[in-house]
Amino acid sequence: MTTAAAVRATVTIVGGGFAGAALALHLTRQPGRLPLDVALVEPRPAPGPGLAYSPAEPELLLNVRAKSMSVWADDPGHFASWLTRQPESSGTNAPAEFAPRGLYGRYLAEELAAVSAQPAANGVRVRHFRGEALAAPLQADGRRAIVLADGDELLSHAVVLALGNFPPPPPTGSDLRYLTHPSYHPDPWAPGALAGIGPDDKVLLIGAGLTAVDTLLALRARGHRAPVRVVARHGRWPAAHGPADAPAYPNFYPELAAERTVAGVLRGVRRHLAAAGAQGLDWRPVLDALRPDLGRIWAGWPLAEQARFLRHLAGPWAQARHRVAPSGAAALATLTADGQLVTIHGRAVAIEPAGDELRVELAAPGQPTQWLMARHVMCCTGPLLDYDRLDSPLVRQLRANGCLTPDPLGLGILTDADGALLDPTGQPSAGGLFTLGASRRPAYFESTAVPELRQQAATLAGVLARRFGQEAH
Ligand SMILES: Cc1cc2nc3c(=O)[nH]c(=O)nc-3n(C[C@H](O)[C@H](O)[C@H](O)COP(=O)(O)OP(=O)(O)OC[C@H]3O[C@@H](n4cnc5c(N)ncnc54)[C@H](O)[C@@H]3O)c2cc1C
């Protein structure tokens, strides 16, 4: 006789950052009976915080308001309400609209700990397996065996890759000797990345996005005194968030729905920016009005138009769309005014070891080449998402077996509408492979922040619930 335990299915989620955690949580709230064991594989001590929400430094703040950071797609105020119940919220330094990222990590870890303590009402059981997944070979019975670094194997009816953000690629292409120089810091998110930087060491950051803002604020909080130079391709820092009570701008997607070119969409957006400006309204709500439809606009462009957008507009778009908390923007302004922060418009084209230091060649349009010396160079150019270049053992194995197909623009993984990985012929790969998070940028372009990712988690949880809602045989 088959026992109930024997017919339970196993879904393995590889990666216990926000996306993996959100999926596990949403599975526990699927309606009906779901006899599912969810194995959450994550090398960090506790799943939930992942890369983005592990830092303990209180000055590293969320770059999205607390009111938009709930893990639950259908309960948007959940995190903000959790926050008010924390001891930190009663002191004089109570977190404001933009809470410390470490606190958010605690929220996620607590939510997961609650569902891991006992089976959910629908039957889902969540368990953390601490370690790295190295491979996911297909078995003769159609399941996949997730091979962990300690040699354990998890036989799984479906596998979800929630691998998140990988360290940035090297900023220059030629003469890569600098990559092993102690003054070069390839991964600004690595624990202890700033540990060897003395207070008077000359630091050069490559890239001026949110990662550079974090790095700068963390350096200052650690007592770094020397001016920091930042090389930025567009010479601009992320825009600051506007006021929380700014009036919303009406959605105008229907006007853009038929546009199949970047130029057409841009014309429509500019028209609305001008109209908003004429009424004395801020530009931010105009862009925010399109947020629910960004994926549809992106998907409506043929590949050549998507490539055009990446070439010409991805930088300015990121600067306008991925905003910094007002306190971070104010700190940047003060540091700049005090001469402590020097932003250089240009591109690092070569980096050479020079004794203890690194010599960096900068190119800027219409300018003669400059060379700068720095005791530390930190690469803050943003995560590598090109799954053709990623060197993770799991990605290598799935790619080599033709189960994971990188997209032609180097943004992530090709998937179907449910997030199922496609093989090179465009068919869903065998063995129930799915993904969510940044890897789905080829489908949506914006697949980055909590509001998008929690919706992906809710939708994928529904897909898995439909598949495993009856007992597996
Ligand atoms: C520094 C930083 C700050 C951010 N701040 C915000 C913010 O304030 N608000 C916001 O909305 N968004 C923010 N983001 C965007 C962020 O990408 C998402 O909010 C979210 O954290 C992404 O979650 P994730 O699970 O996809 O990725 P990650 O947090 O990167 O987690 C992926 C996890 O997968 C694990 N993993 C990878 N490979 C394997 C393997 N083979 N085996 C086992 N485990 C593996 C890693 O250990 C990691 O913990 C930030 C991003 C970064 C990088």
Percent above pLDDT 90 for the chain = 88
Please report whether residue 244 resides in a domain: no
User: Last residue of some domain: 321, 337, 366?
Assistant: 321
State how far the alpha carbon of 385 is from the alpha carbons of 63, 447, 459, in Å.
Answer: 21, 11, 22
Q: Residues near ligand 1 with C-beta < 6 Å?
A: 14-20, 41-44, 50-52, 62-64, 101, 132-133, 162-165, 189, 211, 214, 392, 394, 437-438, 448-450, 453
Q: Residue 50 Cα, ligand 1 centroid: separation in angstroms?
A: 5
Ligand 1 atom nearest residue 189's Cα: 1
Percent above pLDDT 70 for the chain = 97
State how far the alpha carbon of 294 is from the alpha carbons of 258, 282, 444, in Å.
Answer: 14, 20, 7
Q: Do residues 286 and 426 both lie within one domain? A: no
Average predicted confidence (pLDDT) for the chain: 94
449-460 per-position pLDDT tens digit: 999 999 999 999
Residues 6+ apart with CB under 8 A from 236: 208, 316, 319
What six digits make up the tokens of 115? Answer: 């569902």
Can you give the pLDDT at residue 470?
66
User: Last residue of some domain: 321, 340, 369?
Assistant: 321
* Domain of residue 75, residue span: 5-166+385-468
Q: What is the dihedral of CA 186, 190, 191, 196, to 10 degrees?
A: 10
Q: Residue 58 Cα, ligand 1 centroid: separation in angstroms?
A: 18
Can you give the pLDDT at residue 5?
46
What six digits make up the tokens of 355? Answer: 């004794």
Task: Please compute, for residue 219, the number of CA atoms within 13 A of its CA located in the half-sphere on the CB side.
Answer: 33
45-65 per-position pLDDT tens digit: 999 999 999 988 888 999 999
Q: Do residues 364 and 399 both lie within one domain? A: no
Q: Do residues 432 and 393 both lie within one domain? A: yes
Q: Do residues 301 and 392 both lie within one domain? A: no
Residue for token digits 């959940």?
A: 78
CA distance 43 to 33: 30
Total number of domains constituting the chain: 3
Task: Indicate the pLDDT class of residue 421, thresholds 50, 70 and 90.
Answer: very high
Q: What letter represents residue 103's amino acid?
A: L
* pLDDT at position 314 over 50: yes
Q: Do residues 220 and 337 both lie within one domain? A: yes
335-344 per-position pLDDT tens digit: 999 999 999 9
Can you give the pLDDT at residue 96?
73
Considering only residues 90 and 95, tell me which one the structure prediction assigns the higher pLDDT: 90
Q: Quote the crossing angle between the two packed helices 18-28 and 450-468, to the nearest 10°.
A: 40
Q: Do residues 195 and 338 both lie within one domain? A: yes
Task: Please compute, for residue 313, the number of CA atoms within 13 A of its CA located in the half-sphere on the CB side.
Answer: 14
* pLDDT at position 306 over 70: yes
The enclosing domain of 154 has a CATH number of 3.50.50.60
User: Last residue of some domain: 279, 295, 321?
Assistant: 321
